[in-house]
Chains A and B, each alone.
Chain A
């Protein structure tokens, strides 16, 4: 039987970079095939080529043995290939069903036939065991649900081959479990799945075979049952697998950030952050654990100043910043790594040096008074690039041209080099490969030793436990537990996050 996918000698060049260099990939029908590799190795690019979003410069593609050339995703969809992107691409202001049919609307006498669409959607959902409410609006959904919508959207079009680009990066462990169950079911129903992930444990758990890409070239294809995470890491970056460890405590008694009785309400008046108080000291990393949607985003938005709190106070180094503008807070030494880099972190069409300035544009070296300091910005960005290993040909390319992980490194770099007093970091290593992850952890640890106070949110529980001096658990808008990371493992922490441990205690 011909393999589902056969890529032979795929080459793709971008300005200054060869993203794919003579790549070969064979994916058997009905298997889950993982693709691993460093940031910028060329994984997303290869998948975009397979999905018809970008043409390859050289190479041959075969789908179920038949040679194909795609000039758009529509061609790929016709061949039964569907893709869920690294950065979700749903229209926020539309309903689930509208998003699902977008681009392939069924019509009856020229009008969109929503009934037929919903019927078909329900059928697809039943067949694969995925449920969504077709009338929900995307902006009301949790990130895990959004991703489910993306997957259903792909299945709705009759995809037999599914490409998932870092689907677990945005998920908490419970959601990852759920996703994996869905994937296993899909596989049982005969689907072929290609899967990109930086978390090697997950890769080993879910996949049948694994292809490792390094600097645009295929390094190896191995059976998942025959390798360990350590082997994989070595194939990817030639290094041992790092783990986040706090090291000696550097916590001081100076309070750098104090949040007192903070309440934030959503548009419906629901208290989404409910009377929260916390303190972060100089030299401390305070981890906030919680399943997405329990108020962590609103908490950090209120601290950064992009969302107004209803009551309560926020103090930085003893100064009340509750009514200060975002700019005043940031100029006062508040660093911010947003959870969604494309939405809140980057100007995708602007050059890297302008992206580095974003959030710091009123301060040296990015500006001099009224004027933008171009040479200053450029050399600062150059420094970020070297120090944080942002893989790019130069600092004048647009942020869009960076791979996801390198975009993340740029954001971390610009926040850390600004030497903040308080850092609000949401998923700081999201999408960053295992090697670079260790560097980011080191940077945060070093800054912590120098007195940085960090409020850390992360879906990666190993990271949360490994980095934090203290962990608080947020559940339904409240802080429900304070835990010592030295005495807790991801399982237990997970049960606190779902509320299970709380009910047991009570």
Chain B
């Protein structure tokens, strides 16, 4: 028999590995059917993947995806389906960009300027998500419905209506808020990374928000698993009635977790505002909120799982850009891979779980001493 620990770790990795194989096979079939050479395409993706610059790009793309994943997962942990991360981060980023631009006119130390931008984003995200929470606890409106509606209100309503009003230069190529003063930009982390790597090629800067994401990851993990608040949150998710009888106030928890979810959602747009564009314009990145839901699902709401999920999706996104440039295959193949991976992973998790249970049983039958449990060797006189 193989070492049980090795087997256990193997099983933990088996689900994503199975899903990956499946995703690759499906994508290969799609590629061949659409007349592209699958070997070439995967070759491109791989050879590109081994470059340092791609890795930096992957981290940059994974950072906001991970943050969106955490935002969604906070709700999921207590069975709240916050579908509104999308609207929350877009509205938050817009507000942060406006505030950041306004503050250009004041003499401020750079870090205060940055802080004001981040705080605005977190606050607006919290308010927008908190609104859904409030609607649920006071009016009993399902959060799925309210967050979807508020997505529309935020993106199609508020931002669409206000964006034209903040455009200062109608002839500029990118129509948006005024660029935030350089003092408020987050420094990139290339210098830090280059301590261990070679010099990173020009045009690739590791976003400073990456550090914020690391902090969020640790705070999320510790908060959920090690604090009384986290216990309250998880117990509400597992059994709201038992949690209530155990002293957890359901309404307070719904509201608080929505607000927290919104706080993190507010950070999703920060790489764009603080590292990339330094403004909110019409081309502002969309869809990260929905990406976050996929990350939370794939990562099973755990900090580590979501880290891997975000890295994978970030890498695939990055490959998509390369494919686009090389035009060897449709860049959409990456979307297909992401989607099949997600679906296959959900199935594979279930499958591996079964095996794991069977394993435990096998181990149990091998184990003999169970001090307090029914001992198998007890005499059972039959009459």
Q: Which residues of A contact B (CB under 8 A)?
A: 13-18, 21, 40-41, 57, 214-220, 222, 235, 304, 306, 325-327, 329-331, 336, 338, 343-350, 354, 357-362, 367, 370-372, 374, 385-386, 389-393
Cα-based distance from A294 to B239 in the complex (angstroms): 26
Residues of chain B within 8 A of A362, CB atoms compared: 228, 247
Q: How far is the CA of A468 from the CA of B246 in the complex (A)?
A: 26
Query: What 8 new A-B contacts, CB under 8 Å, besides A343-B242, A358-B246?
Result: A21-B380, A219-B381, A343-B239, A367-B228, A370-B229, A371-B228, A391-B373, A392-B373
Beta-carbon contact of B245 and A326 below 8 Å: yes
User: Nearest 9 CB-CB pairs, A to B?
Assistant: A217-B380, A327-B247, A359-B246, A220-B383, A15-B364, A18-B376, A358-B246, A15-B360, A344-B245
Chain A residues with CB below 8 A from B381, complex form:
219
Bound CA span A126–B229, Å:
53
A389–B371 alpha-carbon span in the complex (Å): 11
Given contacts A13-B364, A15-B364, A306-B244, contact A385 B380 (CB under 8 A): no
What is the CB-to-nearest-CB distance from B233 to chain A, in angstroms, rounded to a whole number? 11
Contacts of A327 in B (CB 8 A): 247-249
Contacts of B365 in A (CB 8 A): 13, 18, 57
Chain B residue with Cβ nearest A39:
B374
Known: A217-B380, A358-B235, A362-B228. A13 touches B361 (CB 8 A): yes
Q: What is the interface of chain B, defined by CB distance below 8 A to chain A?
A: 225-232, 234-235, 238-239, 241-249, 360-361, 363-365, 367, 370, 372-376, 378, 380-383
Question: How far in angstroms is the closest Cβ of chain A from B358?
Answer: 10
**Contact partner of A392 among B228, B372, B380, CB < 8 A?**
B372
In the bound complex, residues from chain A placing their C-beta under 8 Å from that of B229 are 370
Establish whether residues A372 and B382, one from each chain, have CB atoms under 8 Å apart when the complex forms.
no
Please tell me if the beta carbons of B249 and A325 are within 8 angstroms of each other in the complex.
yes
Please determine whether B227 and A361 come into contact, CB atoms closer than 8 angstroms.
Answer: no
Q: A218-B382, A326-B247, A371-B226 are in contact. Are A357 and B231 (CB under 8 A)?
A: yes
17 A-B pairs with CB atoms under 8 Å apart are A16-B370, A16-B373, A21-B376, A216-B380, A218-B382, A219-B380, A220-B382, A326-B245, A326-B247, A327-B249, A338-B245, A343-B239, A371-B227, A371-B228, A385-B372, A392-B373, A393-B370
Closest to A343 in B: B241
Q: Which residues of A contact B246 (CB under 8 A)?
A: 326, 330, 358-361
Q: A371 to B227, alpha carbons, bound, how many Å?
A: 4
CB–CB B374/A17 < 8 A: yes
Contacts of A350 in B (CB 8 A): 234-235, 238
B382 and A336 contacting across the interface, CB-CB below 8 Å? no
| Residue among B249, B360, B374, B380 facing the most chain A CB atoms (10 A cut-off) | B374
- The answer to whether B364 touches A372 (Cβ under 8 A) is no
Cβ–Cβ < 8 Å partners of B227 in chain A: 370-372
Option from B239, B244, B372, B383 in Cβ contact (under 8 Å) with A326 = B244
Given A16-B367, A216-B374, A219-B380, CB of A336 within 8 Å of CB of B245: yes
Cα A56 to Cα B239 in complex, Å, equals: 30
Q: State whether A354 touches B231 (Cβ < 8 A).
A: yes
